[in-house]
């Protein structure tokens, strides 16, 4: 059996990624709805809760970081909590209540009416994500689900579904990452249309606080 060269693998990955990303234009109505939910949540003084497993946990942390610190320009901090970030809390919840409850337990602790839960699952079958969505609904927390493949058993549970119809976990994650960045860009443009207006008390100047816009 002949092995593919690195050049062939790279070219194939680029072609597949291009096809997947170009398909996202079909999600424009859902992206607009997701942006509306995030904007409404933040304007009302509420917060975002974000969760996922594995690579999706990393994407959840990335998204929360972009909101709390900044994405492109200086502006006030936006409240966002990654539910996959506290090892002690996750292992305690997993040990005492089971892995399926690690996010739902935190939604129960932190979620308030008017908050927004954003879940990421490439399979749509993650039981802990499903439980988080159920807990959010019970607490009148709005929801957005980033999904892959056919959406699995999670499809239809959230207020907004952003479904990437691909069978490749890598391509789904890349599409999720682009959509998260697009939402960051939309929210910053809506909530802080004038970058010069970001000189609010507590808003650092560029470079202060040790966080450059290079990440």
Element (H, E) at 163: strand 160-164
**Residue 2: predicted pLDDT:** 59
Strand pairing partners for 161? 145
Give pLDDT tens digits for 85-131. 999 999 999 999 999 999 999 999 999 999 999 999 999 999 999 99
Using N-to-C axis directions, what is the helix angle for 169-191 and 55-68, rounded to 10°? Answer: 10
**Which CATH code is given to the segment(s) 25-191?**
3.40.50.10490
**DSSP code for 11:** H
Give pLDDT tens digits for 33-92. 999 999 999 999 999 999 999 999 999 999 999 999 999 989 999 999 999 999 999 999
Using N-to-C axis directions, what is the helix angle for 6-22 and 169-191, rounded to 10°? Answer: 50
Element (H, E) at 91: helix 87-97
**DSSP code for 73:** S
Rounded Cα distance between 186 and 181, Å, is 9
**Residue 73: predicted pLDDT:** 87
Contacts with 90 (C-beta within 8 Å, 6 or more apart), sequence order: 84, 102
Q: What is the pTM for the complete model shown?
A: 0.88
Residue where the block lists tokens 């996010």: 103
Strand pairing partners for 80? 48
């Amino acid at each position: 059996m002949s092995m593919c060269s690195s050049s062939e693998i790279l070219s194939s990955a680029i072609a597949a990624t291009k096809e997947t990303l170009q398909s996202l234009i079909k999600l424009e109505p859902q992206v607009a709805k997701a942006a509306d939910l995030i904007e409404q949540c933040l304007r009302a003084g509420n917060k975002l809760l974000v969760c996922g497993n594995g690579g999706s946990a990393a994407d959840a942390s990335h998204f929360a970081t972009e909101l709390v610190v900044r994405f492109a320009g200086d502006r006030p901090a936006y409240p966002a909590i990654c539910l996959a970030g506290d090892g002690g809390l996750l292992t305690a919840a997993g040990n005492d209540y089971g892995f399926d409850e690690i996010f739902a337990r935190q939604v129960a602790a932190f979620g308030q009416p008017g908050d927004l839960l954003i879940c990421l699952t490439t399979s749509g079958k993650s039981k802990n994500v499903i439980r988080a969505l159920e807990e959010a609904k019970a607490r009148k927390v709005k929801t957005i689900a980033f999904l892959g493949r056919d959406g699995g058993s999670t499809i239809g549970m959230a207020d907004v579904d952003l479904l990437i119809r691909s069978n490749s976990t890598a391509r789904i994650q890349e599409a999720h990452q682009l959509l998260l960045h697009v939402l960051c860009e939309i929210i910053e443009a809506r909530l802080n249309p004038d970058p010069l207006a970001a000189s609010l008390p507590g808003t650092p100047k560029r470079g202060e606080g040790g966080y450059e816009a290079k990440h």
